[in-house]
Structure 1
Amino acid sequence: MTTPDPTGPVARLLRYANEVHALAGQCGRQDLAEVLAACAGRWKDECTDIVVAGAQKRGKSRLLNTLVGHPDLLPVDADVATNCFLSLRRGPRLAAVVHRSTDSGPLQTPITIESIPDYASMRGDAGKRRDVVSVDITLDNPLLDGLRLLDTPGVDSLTVGHRQVTVAMLQRADALLFALSAQDQPVLRHELEFLAEAAERVQAIVFVLTKVEDSTNWRNLQEENKSRLRTFVTEAIAADPARAATLAPLLEAPWIPVSAKLAEAAEAKRREGREERANTLRARSGMDALERHLRAFAEGRESARGATVVAAALSVLGSLTTSAKDDVAAGSDDDGDVAARLAEVDADLAALAELSARRRAGMVANTFIGREVGGIVGARVAEIRQPYENTIATLKKQAQIDQYMAELPVSVQRSLEAAWSQIVYDVERLARTTLDAFARDLGLDPVELTADRQAMPNLSQVQVKGDMAAEAPESVDIIRDVLPSASIGLSLGGFATALLGPVGFILVAPAIGAAIFMGRRSMEKVQRSQAAIRGALRDQFAVVTREMTLDLERMVATWRVSVEQAADDTLARRRRELETRRAELKSASARSAADRLKARKSGQERIAAIGTLTTRGHELRKELAGAVAALGTEQPVPAGT
């Protein structure tokens, strides 16, 4: 790495970070010094980390596959798995390594390229996904020289941990590519909120509008996205002017429209020897413009990385200000100064008490989640059962009854397994909405909720394939598309594929699986009459309804305890910090005059130093923002179709 110009912004940034680090140490805040050291510790890393983020189905993975020239490398039909990210970097050959975090420590396992979806996709194997932190993929592509591309979970995923993982990845990001699609709805509120959070950590941000090949209206959609972003930023700055320094640059971030589909078509034409047509398609794809931007990030990584260091330093300085002001107040000749600081602490404690009261009220409201589980299960199971009842009523001849009974046990089993998928989704959505609102009301980060699903034993010779990842089932009318009527057998294969997709196996809790299995066995032995069949059917559905309800009530209770415990821990920690601060203020005011004068002088010196460093930090941030904005400029706009 070349030595930076001693008068340039990079050298000044490094000196600045050292000064803030030293000040944190002098103030006895080694914890804050370590935060800054960790951020600046990546300075010698000559690989630029570019995080690729966005909502699900925005075209992130296909975009990355196209950039590195491997259309089937990353799974494009499902989101990246919870707690996992995929890393693409240059290496001598195409290879993949899974990194796990286990009780015994980190574990690395080489895997085949073909098995990447099993470990990194929400449609993959649940057992293989367990404890996976990342999948590191190497390939020999010149684009990745000095670059590391990081594919992250969707920021809108129902699994809250997805967004948390992506935000955490921004701590190590030098740049962010944020994907939006020309074929989907405009940028949504939760995406804008993520961008605001990202802008606190990353200064080099580029918007990539994907899938422009099939959209004749992509320019209008891009303008609407810009308008929504402008409105959001304007309102956020009006509410908190201090955010202007981080949010305003979002309005200057470049937009690059691209088409992975056109780029793939260009490569196909090139393989056919049709160079002119290939070049035309490639130019229209916008990929060359995006690649130039990526290369610019690699070449200008010091400017992009410097913005992250400045943001960390300013955060550290903000945390140091409170204790310095307390020391100045404690050393004042005016007792009112200490009283004013104590009044602030008391006000914060009172606000904390109010939060605790809201926490208790919220806890009561949370209990109703469990009560609603029974209603959700009952409604879904009734939806499944009624068509069977209707069909049984039409069976008049013994031959019809015999034929129907030959297929009924397996059909009921399949229907209940499919219903379980929808029921878990409904319950997870209800719990997540309620508990997230509870956390937000207390000013807490969302707590990840993950259903404790276990693989159901093989209950028949025919496996029903599907996926129980925490995402919405496909849009299927259960009554119309799933349940059989007079001819049960004809519907089985079709519904399994339509509802549940081609990968994995349905997951059902053991107790529910046993109830379904025993119900099927009982039904196979039932007397062949309408009344007996109807009674056996009711018994089967009643038992399974009870087991499903119990299992989900336990699941919801576990989630509630997790979220409420996190709330208690956070509120208790805040209370300890405030009570410690109050005790220190009271103790300081009782010191000798000489000690109080010394503390006051130290506090004033620290406030002055913090003020000077804060001003320098904002100036550096502005200078670096200009350098970042100049990276990768002058991209042509693809023609689209």
Structure 2
Amino acid sequence: MPVTTDLVQQVLRLANEVNAFAKQCGRADLSQTLVEVAARWKETETTIVVAGAQKRGKSRLINALVGRPGLLPVDADVATNCHLTLRRGPVLSATVHRNDGDVEIDPEQIADYASTTGDPAKRRDVLGVDVTMDHPLLDGVRLLDTPGVDSLTLGHRQATVAILQRADALLFALSAQDQPVLRHELEFLAEAMERVQAVAFVLTKVEDSANAQALLEENRRRLATFVADAGRSSPGTAAALAPLLEAPWLPVSAKLAEAAAAQRSLGREDRAAKLQERSGMGPLEDYIRACAGGRELTRSATVVSACVSVLSSLTAVAEDDVASASEDGAEAARRLAEVDKALEELTRTMRDRRRHAVGNQFLGREVSAIVRARLARVRQPYEQAISELGTRAALERYLAQLPESVEQSIRAAWDDIVAEVSRLVGRALNEFLAALGLEPMEMDLAKLSMPTVWSHELQSEPGESAKLDLLREGVPAATMAVTIGMALAHLNPIGFLIGPAIAAAVMSRRREWEQVHRNQAALRRLVSEQFTQAAGEITLALEREVASWRVAVEETADIALAGQRKELEARRAELRAPAGRSAADRGQARRRAADRLARAGELTERALALRGEIGPAVNALA
């Protein structure tokens, strides 16, 4: 559908009317939201935000789009409250924006300032990093790489939601090599739809995934279930989320795109073209260009979404005002009683919050016990194998393959440990949230990398043979030689020669066995030290992650409970306000509230009609 002048005028007219209505209702905060959205109308660049959970391949995707692998950090997430912007410029450059001013940096240093693993001193107070480069895809386009939207990374999610106020379109990344879309990602999308209408799903890492199509279908199913569940509790929410069901899905592979670029640099154009086609980057690039060309369409959708969100808030307030000013006061009393009861229950919940959190303090100890038990089971076969090594040659062969074997065993144990810890901690923290009446969170340690736990000490060779101990070995050997020689001398005169030879052979074998036992002990000590080191490093890494989970969950709970209290107290104040008014004043207040409610309904109807007209056209950009 072409964007007509009439459609644009309808959208802008609606925004102006909703803005004036919000001011009339005394909601300057909602009016400011619309002002900020509308102020972007004349911007010449189309802003496309790339969002998604950690390890979904966002940064590598952007690097592949602009043909610069390694430009943006891919091994760690974007730092909290920070974003990375790519726009077109004559040369490659990077500018760090901080609270105390801007500073130019070498693009090779971007990770130091914008990555969660960067230099803490450098990334402090960084608001964002602006990168310019001369690439045709960036003509009229600004790409934003954002912090991950994982449910436990609360600051990341809030920062990304805030950035969406400036977005014309959203590319939401999911991976073909990870789990399907999780609930916290769907909840983020529900928030995103209040701010931006042009949403496309990008399924990354399809190069090695034989189940990419099955995973795509599972993602669609989960999305449909989420929208349906939202519809049962709030029909309005379901209508707002319905466009997600028609949003385009774009499977891509940054890895294949990088391979195509490498082949092209070698002059192998045919091979490069095939890899580029398999990468799926072409349709994604076409979508980005379509968003740039359909700038007015995507911005119309964004403005309408903002209008719907503002009107929803104004409608809820008007409904309470109508009830509170009713003639008999019955409806207002009923609502007030509900609010008072909810506040009493919330007060009890907040009082019990600390008690419910006590068990969370011991999660670290339980994690440590899991690690020790798992690694002890893995170590047992090594102890048994070492005890069965009977020769120096066998010991040397075993030691040669020991470092790699231990590393593989610990990596296998890591996967089991992570799964068990995820179940344990997820269950404990979600029981804590359930006790507070809050929604559960999906917790997954898959994004956590295993710490380096193997050691070069395992490369050591078995010790050399010990020197001859004359007192412990020499005297017994001489005695044995004399005794055997005298015994054999009665049978044969050469017995005195055979005796020392036999004694030497016996003592040599004895020394060999003692050396084998010493080497076995040394190997056992090496393996024991290795697994002890592994247990320490793994426990520390997991305890840190679990502590972050616990803090994030408890902070999320505190914020949610505080938000509930603030909302309930505001509603109670509104419902109590008319109590001291005369009947005439209540009647006048009721009529004003009814007028506001009717006006909100009229504007909402127009907004939804415009959304229904614009939505299919936005999805058709792909």
Q: Report the TM-score, using the length of structure 1 for normalisation.
A: 0.69
- Once the 2 structures are TM-superposed, how far is the Cα of residue 628 of structure 1 from its aligned partner? 0.5
- Once the 2 structures are TM-superposed, how far is the Cα of residue 595 of structure 1 from its aligned partner? 1.9
Aligned to 1:237: 231
- Once the 2 structures are TM-superposed, how far is the Cα of residue 392 of structure 1 from its aligned partner? 14
- Once the 2 structures are TM-superposed, how far is the Cα of residue 139 of structure 1 from its aligned partner? 0.5
Determine whether 1:114 maps to 2:112.
Answer: no
Q: Is the 8 A contact 1:55 1:155 kept in 2?
A: yes
- Once the 2 structures are TM-superposed, how far is the Cα of residue 110 of structure 1 from its aligned partner? 1.7
Residues 138 and 557 of structure 1: CA distance in aligned 2, closer, same or farther (over 3 Å) = closer
Residue pairs, 1:439-458, within 5 angstroms: 442=436
Deviations 1:252-281 (CA, angstroms, capped at 9, x unpaired): 112223333443344444444454554444
What is the rounded CA distance, in whole Å, between the counterparts of 1:137 and 1:156 in structure 2? 25
Q: Is the 8 A contact 1:158 1:471 kept in 2?
A: no
Counterpart of 2:75 (choices 71, 74, 77) is 77
Counterpart of 1:172 (choices 146, 166, 172) is 166
- Once the 2 structures are TM-superposed, how far is the Cα of residue 383 of structure 1 from its aligned partner? 9.5
Deviations 1:100-122 (CA, angstroms, capped at 9, x unpaired): 3xxxx344222212122233334
What is the rounded CA distance, in whole Å, between the counterparts of 1:140 and 1:234 in structure 2? 44
Determine whether 1:195 maps to 2:193.
Answer: no
Secondary structure class of the residue paired with 1:318: helix
Bigger share in helix = 2
Residues 470 and 130 of structure 1: CA distance in aligned 2, closer, same or farther (over 3 Å) = farther
What is the rounded CA distance, in whole Å, between the counterparts of 1:583 and 1:27 in structure 2? 16
Counterpart amino acid of 2:601? G
Determine whether 1:600 maps to 2:576.
Answer: no
Aligned to 1:92: 90
Counterpart amino acid of 1:70? R
Deviations 1:46-74 (CA, angstroms, capped at 9, x unpaired): 22111112344433222211211212312
What is the rounded CA distance, in whole Å, between the counterparts of 1:140 and 1:179 in structure 2? 25
- Once the 2 structures are TM-superposed, how far is the Cα of residue 159 of structure 1 from its aligned partner? 4.2
- Once the 2 structures are TM-superposed, how far is the Cα of residue 471 of structure 1 from its aligned partner? 5.2
Q: Is the 8 A contact 1:331 1:597 kept in 2?
A: yes
Q: Is the 8 A contact 1:58 1:210 kept in 2?
A: yes
Residue pairs, 1:310-329, within 5 angstroms: 310-329=304-323
Deviations 1:583-622 (CA, angstroms, capped at 9, x unpaired): 4433413212332222122111111111111111111211
What is the rounded CA distance, in whole Å, between the counterparts of 1:70 and 1:559 in structure 2? 34
Secondary structure class of the residue paired with 1:229: helix
Residue pairs, 1:253-268, within 5 angstroms: 253-268=247-262
Aligned to 2:335: 341
What is the rounded CA distance, in whole Å, between the counterparts of 1:554 and 1:388 in structure 2? 29
- Once the 2 structures are TM-superposed, how far is the Cα of residue 200 of structure 1 from its aligned partner? 3.7
Determine whether 1:22 maps to 2:57.
Answer: no
Deviations 1:500-526 (CA, angstroms, capped at 9, x unpaired): xxxxxxxxxxxxxxxxxxxxxxxxxxx
Aligned to 1:637: none
Determine whether 1:585 maps to 2:585.
Answer: no
Secondary structure class of the residue paired with 1:77: coil
Determine whether 1:473 maps to 2:449.
Answer: yes
Aligned to 1:359: 353
Secondary structure class of the residue paired with 1:599: helix
Aligned residues with identical type, % of pairs: 59
- Once the 2 structures are TM-superposed, how far is the Cα of residue 344 of structure 1 from its aligned partner? 3.2
Question: Which range is displaced more, 366-375 or 296-305?
Answer: 366-375
Q: Is the 8 A contact 2:318 2:597 kept in 1?
A: yes
Q: Is the 8 A contact 1:155 1:166 kept in 2?
A: yes
Counterpart of 1:209 (choices 203, 206, 214) is 203
What is the rounded CA distance, in whole Å, between the counterparts of 1:239 and 1:587 in structure 2? 29
Cα RMSD, aligned residues only: 5.3
Residue pairs, 1:369-408, within 5 angstroms: 369=363, 372=366, 375=369
Counterpart amino acid of 2:591? K
Aligned to 2:7: 9
**Unaligned runs of at least 5 residues, structure 2:** 389-412, 463-523
Aligned to 2:473: none
Aligned to 2:600: 610
Deviations 1:78-106 (CA, angstroms, capped at 9, x unpaired): 33334432211111210112233xxxx34
Residues 392 and 122 of structure 1: CA distance in aligned 2, closer, same or farther (over 3 Å) = farther
What is the rounded CA distance, in whole Å, between the counterparts of 1:565 and 1:56 in structure 2? 20
**Rg larger for:** 2
Deviations 1:545-597 (CA, angstroms, capped at 9, x unpaired): 99x99999999999878865775565456445534543443341321233222
What is the rounded CA distance, in whole Å, between the counterparts of 1:213 and 1:558 in structure 2? 33
Q: Is the 8 A contact 1:387 1:483 kept in 2?
A: no
Determine whether 1:306 maps to 2:300.
Answer: yes
Aligned to 2:246: 252
What is the rounded CA distance, in whole Å, between the counterparts of 2:115 and 2:423 in structure 1? 20
Determine whether 1:292 maps to 2:286.
Answer: yes
Residues 247 and 441 of structure 1: CA distance in aligned 2, closer, same or farther (over 3 Å) = farther
Secondary structure class of the residue paired with 1:92: coil
Following TM superposition, the consecutive aligned residue runs of length 4 or more in structure 1 with deviations greater than 6 angstroms are: 376-394, 422-433, 443-447, 548-563
Residues 374 and 64 of structure 1: CA distance in aligned 2, closer, same or farther (over 3 Å) = closer
Residues 208 and 583 of structure 1: CA distance in aligned 2, closer, same or farther (over 3 Å) = closer
Residues 580 and 488 of structure 1: CA distance in aligned 2, closer, same or farther (over 3 Å) = same
Counterpart amino acid of 2:76? A
Secondary structure class of the residue paired with 2:48: strand
Counterpart amino acid of 1:21? N
Residues 576 and 265 of structure 1: CA distance in aligned 2, closer, same or farther (over 3 Å) = closer
Aligned to 2:140: 146
What is the rounded CA distance, in whole Å, between the counterparts of 2:277 and 2:365 in structure 1? 58
Q: Is the 8 A contact 1:202 1:308 kept in 2?
A: yes
Aligned to 1:50: 48
Secondary structure class of the residue paired with 1:8: helix
Q: Is the 8 A contact 1:89 1:144 kept in 2?
A: yes
Secondary structure class of the residue paired with 1:628: helix
Counterpart of 1:38 (choices 27, 36, 39) is 36
Counterpart amino acid of 1:171? Q
Counterpart amino acid of 1:627? A
Q: Is the 8 A contact 1:50 1:174 kept in 2?
A: yes
What is the rounded CA distance, in whole Å, between the counterparts of 2:417 and 2:213 in structure 1? 40
What is the rounded CA distance, in whole Å, between the counterparts of 1:551 and 1:288 in structure 2? 40
Residues 372 and 302 of structure 1: CA distance in aligned 2, closer, same or farther (over 3 Å) = same
Counterpart of 1:222 (choices 216, 222, 227) is 216
Aligned to 1:508: none
What is the rounded CA distance, in whole Å, between the counterparts of 1:371 and 1:630 in structure 2? 53
Secondary structure class of the residue paired with 1:88: strand
Determine whether 1:68 maps to 2:66.
Answer: yes
Residues 31 and 166 of structure 1: CA distance in aligned 2, closer, same or farther (over 3 Å) = closer
Determine whether 1:619 maps to 2:609.
Answer: yes
What is the rounded CA distance, in whole Å, between the counterparts of 2:143 and 2:333 in structure 1? 53
Q: Is the 8 A contact 2:49 2:144 kept in 1?
A: yes
Q: Is the 8 A contact 2:197 2:305 kept in 1?
A: no
Counterpart amino acid of 1:472? L
Counterpart amino acid of 1:314? V
Q: Is the 8 A contact 1:51 1:175 kept in 2?
A: yes
Counterpart amino acid of 2:112? D
